[in-house]
C-alpha cells in the first residue's frame, strides 16, 4: 500500500507518517501544490496511492481544493472506483461547512488530535488493510 500524507504542520505530518508507515510505504508533503504534483506523478507512472491523508487547512491550496483536483485527475485518467485513492480529510475543525464541502468526494474524516487507534479504526471503516 502506498500512502501520501499531506499536512503543512511538521508535527502533525510526522505523527501521521509514523502511524501509517506501519501499513505501507509512506511519503509526506508539506502543502497542497506538492500533493497535486505527487498525485500527478503517481498517475503518470501508474504507481497509485492507496491512501491519502489530507489536511484541510493549508496556506497555498486548501484541502478541499486539493481533494477536488485529485478527483479530477483520477477522472481524467479514467480510474474506476476501485483504483481511486481512499482520501481521509484531516482537520482540527469539526464545523459542518467544511464537512459538507467534501461529502461524496472523500472517504472519511480524522479530527485532530488523532492517534493510532483512531487511524486503524478509520482505515478499517474505509476498507483498507490495517
Residues 80, 102: Cα–Cα separation, whole Å = 19
Q: Do residues 35 and 6 lie in contact, with contact meaning Cβ atoms separated by under 8 Å?
A: yes
**What's the structural domain count of the chain?**
1
* Position 61 in a domain: yes
**Residue 2: predicted pLDDT:** 98
**Residue 129: predicted pLDDT:** 82
Residue-level length of the chain = 130
Print the domain residue range for 39: 2-113
Q: Do residues 27 and 5 lie in contact, with contact meaning Cβ atoms separated by under 8 Å?
A: yes
* Position 127 in a domain: no
The three cell numbers locating residue 58 = 493549508
Q: What is the CATH number of the domain that holds 76?
A: 3.40.50.2300
Q: What phi and psi, each to the nearest 5 degrees, are found at residue 119?
A: -65, -40
Pick out the chain residues at pLDDT < 50: none
**Residue 95: predicted pLDDT:** 66
**Residue 94: predicted pLDDT:** 65
Amino acid at each position: 500500500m502506498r500512502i501520501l500524507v499531506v499536512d503543512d504542520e511538521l508535527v502533525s505530518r510526522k505523527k501521521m507518517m509514523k502511524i501509517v508507515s506501519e501499513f505501507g510505504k509512506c511519503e509526506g508533503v508539506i502543502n497542497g501544490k506538492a500533493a497535486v504534483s505527487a498525485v500527478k506523478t503517481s498517475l503518470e507512472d501508474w504507481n497509485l496511492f492507496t491512501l491519502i491523508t489530507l489536511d484541510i487547512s493549508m496556506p497555498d491550496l486548501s484541502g478541499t481544493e486539493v481533494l477536488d483536483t485529485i478527483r479530477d485527475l483520477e477522472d481524467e485518467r479514467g480510474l474506476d472506483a476501485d483504483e481511486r485513492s481512499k482520501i481521509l480529510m484531516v482537520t482540527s475543525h469539526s464545523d459542518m461547512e467544511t464537512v459538507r464541502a467534501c461529502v461524496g468526494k472523500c472517504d472519511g474524516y480524522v479530527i485532530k488530535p488523532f492517534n493510532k487507534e483512531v487511524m486503524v479504526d478509520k482505515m478499517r471503516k474505509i476498507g483498507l488493510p490495517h
